[in-house]
Structure 1
Amino acid sequence: MSTIKPFYFPTTVTFVDDSPTFLSNLCLQLDPQLAFQLFSSPVEALRSVNDSPRPSSPNEPIFAPFRDRTDEDLAQQVISLSVNTVRDQVYNPQRFRAMSVVVVDYDMPGMNGLEFCRRMTDPAVRKIMLTGKADEHIAVQSFNEGIIHRFIRKQDVSAISSLNRAVRDMQSAYFDNVCQSILDTLALSEYAFLRDEVLADRVAELSGSLGIVEHYISYCPGGLLMFDSKGAAYLLVIHTPETLRGVREIAVEQDAPAEFLAALDSGRSLPYFWQTEGNFPAQCPAWEDYMYPAKSLSGRQNYVYAVIPNPPGLQLERVQSYDSYLEKLDRDQETAWSSRS
């Protein structure tokens, strides 16, 4: 079933092989937009993988005890989810360093690939093992036992294309794993749209046309905050009939003009009042400046959505782009690789 991940951003892949020559040749054949690290020492690689950051906000965890609760019984403690904390991951300059996939050779001196995988501490990281003919049966057994998630035969003529495809699949599976609890928590909220296959397909189309590489659920108004690799931002505002009724009721309370209400009811435009958390502000004669072209979509329910380029009010100057991370990673990797050679 197609779903929209509550958040997704490019992550780093670690390749481990005791042959520096193999790694040097391999990196020339990888997806140019892939962030990766190369290690010919499994000990160094394991230390780097286990020390890598995990998806989180720079200031607080996504899930935390509900602070307003007065019940002191810890057994009854309520855990809350902060949607803003999910979105605020975009301000974490270390987010791209999160390790999502490890590609490890099996036959290495000192520590074979199977032992390497067993000593990894983050169960969410996906593991791909590169094998030769002699250790293929070990890889099959490890896959069946759930120790690794894929294995690829080095000698196959399609090994590189299979590897690039498997890395993409495993990066997506990594976020399926880390986002599952968030999806479950939001299933009955205004973010139920995350599980709508029709809307998921439309978001995928929009992401493809805009070159989106990362996104985060957003609040007030609800939707997705999206970025391309250069850091250009787009806010995808998503409304259902229920959330639109809320917008309209507040606008009526604020004495919004009939023209605004008519524009809202038409479904052809949506407001983004960024100073007032999406609500119609008091005494707003220039409301047209806050309106954006909208489209309708029918899935599990009806939606009206609008794409807002470079949305104001979100401190976008603090966001590090993926391209800038790739440039820095290339410089660091070249320096590190030279020092190991």
Structure 2
Amino acid sequence: MNSLLGCYFPTTVIFVDDDRGVLKVTNSFLNDDVANYDFFTDPYKALELINRSISTDFIASNISSSEARIYEMYKTMYNAKRHEEVSTVIVDFQMPAMNGLEFCEKIENPYIRKILYTGVADEDLAVHAFNKGLIHGYIKKQDPNKSKVINDFIKTSQVAYFRTLTDVLVGSVFKEINSTNPEETAFYDPVFIKYFDALVKKHNICEYYINEVVGGFICISRKGELSTLYAFTAETLEDNQINTHAILRDLIDLEDPAYAALTKDIEENRKTMCFPFYGESFIDIDVHNWKNHIHSLDIIEGNQPYYVAYVSHPGLEKDLNLYSFEQSQEAR
């Protein structure tokens, strides 16, 4: 069943081919907005880099609870080296030092996606390797649309990489924290998934991280600009509205006619208070800026109603010292 990812960020894709000309041509048509790329003619040097690459493992047994693992997933956005993580390897089958299948067998990280680049003579071997699960796909050198095929493979491989890392965890956290069947949540709701995918595209979001505290996602653009998707069910919104009323009572006179429209909007679930959460705590609010945290709600009618607010936080990335995907590319 299709579901949202617990997190996603651009990674590094490795190309291995003993023919420098092939690598040069490949580099000319790759989409730089999708991933970082490294190229090797020496498979041993490529393996050395791949096997010493950082690897995010949210399924690690040394993290005791699902809730703690969700927090580890969220904290990945503060890791300046996250975009160096290798998610995908595209390797030529016919190389003098070792063939592509031998190369794939030496990759230690089980989550890395392995794609074989094959000629006509090697296609049957590639199909056999794919059917046995030794590789995750293959690309024909003679394919007239190989530039599109390779770029599409990179996109789908990165998604598959993060799906492997986060699917089990996301399902378990819903059961552990909320005693909820994961398939009854927004994560598995096709209507909500369609909304989220459109949101990512519309706002040029290149990475996102689930945040249990806000009930949604922390989103980051290529330049490092921060935003948050707050998402509520009817039940969680009711709790949030109770908190909103309690906070506003301490800040303003809710009986004042000047706030009648605001009070009505909150009571009728057209607006709510949403607080930016980054690091270890919420961003402080006070009487001078509380209006900045009142946001209009849209309703997504899926398997159940979802109340959502997408909020940008301009300039906040500077306070948090986030390292963006654009910065990682400029540093290469």
Shorter-chain TM-score range? 0.7 to 0.9
Match of 1:32 in 2: 32
Label 1:304 to 1:165 Cα distance change in 2 as closer, same or farther (>3 A).
same
Match of 1:241 in 2: 234
How far off is 1:309 after superposition?
A: 0.7
Kept in 1: contact 2:88–2:112 (CA 8 A): yes
Please say if 1:292 is aligned against 2:295.
yes
Instruction: Describe the superposition over 1:260-296 as per-residue Cα deviations: whole angstroms up to 9, x where unpaired.
Output: 6533222222212348967998x95864332022211
Match of 1:226 in 2: 219
Q: Map 1:120-159 onto structure 2 (within 5 A).
A: 120-159=107-146
Deviates more, 1:241-250 or 1:105-114: 241-250
Instruction: Describe the superposition over 1:139-158 as per-residue Cα deviations: whole angstroms up to 9, x where unpaired.
Output: 11111111011111112212
Kept in 2: contact 1:62–1:85 (CA 8 A): no
Please say if 1:323 is aligned against 2:322.
no
Kept in 2: contact 1:267–1:296 (CA 8 A): no
| Counterparts of 2:273 and 2:281, CA distance in 1 | 11
| Counterparts of 1:109 and 1:182, CA distance in 2 | 41
Q: TM-score scaled to structure 2, two decimals?
A: 0.85
Q: TM-score scaled to structure 1, two decimals?
A: 0.83
Instruction: Describe the superposition over 1:289-320 as per-residue Cα deviations: whole angstroms up to 9, x where unpaired.
Output: 32022211111211111111117878753211
Tell me the SS of whatever aligns to 2:15. strand
Specify which of 300, 305, 320 is matched with residue 302 of structure 1: 305
| Counterparts of 2:228 and 2:122, CA distance in 1 | 49
Label 1:254 to 1:14 Cα distance change in 2 as closer, same or farther (>3 A).
closer
How far off is 1:80 after superposition?
A: 4.8
Label 1:249 to 1:277 Cα distance change in 2 as closer, same or farther (>3 A).
farther
Kept in 2: contact 1:216–1:224 (CA 8 A): yes
How far off is 1:186 after superposition?
A: 2.9
Tell me the SS of whatever aligns to 1:226. strand
Unaligned 5+ segments in structure 1 are 67-78, 330-341
Kept in 1: contact 2:70–2:169 (CA 8 A): no
Specify which of 183, 186, 190 is matched with residue 197 of structure 1: 190
Unaligned 5+ segments in structure 2 are none
Tell me the SS of whatever aligns to 1:64. coil
Q: Give the alignment's Cα RMSD to 1 decimal.
A: 2.9
Kept in 2: contact 1:105–1:131 (CA 8 A): yes
Instruction: Describe the superposition over 1:187-238 as per-residue Cα deviations: whole angstroms up to 9, x where unpaired.
Output: 3438832222111111111111100110001233211110111111111111
Which contiguous aligned blocks of 4+ residues in structure 1 show a shift greater than 4 angstroms?
A: 251-255, 258-261, 274-281, 283-286, 311-316
The percentage of aligned residue pairs carrying the same residue is 27
Label 1:83 to 1:327 Cα distance change in 2 as closer, same or farther (>3 A).
same
Q: Map 1:93-112 onto structure 2 (within 5 A).
A: 93-112=80-99
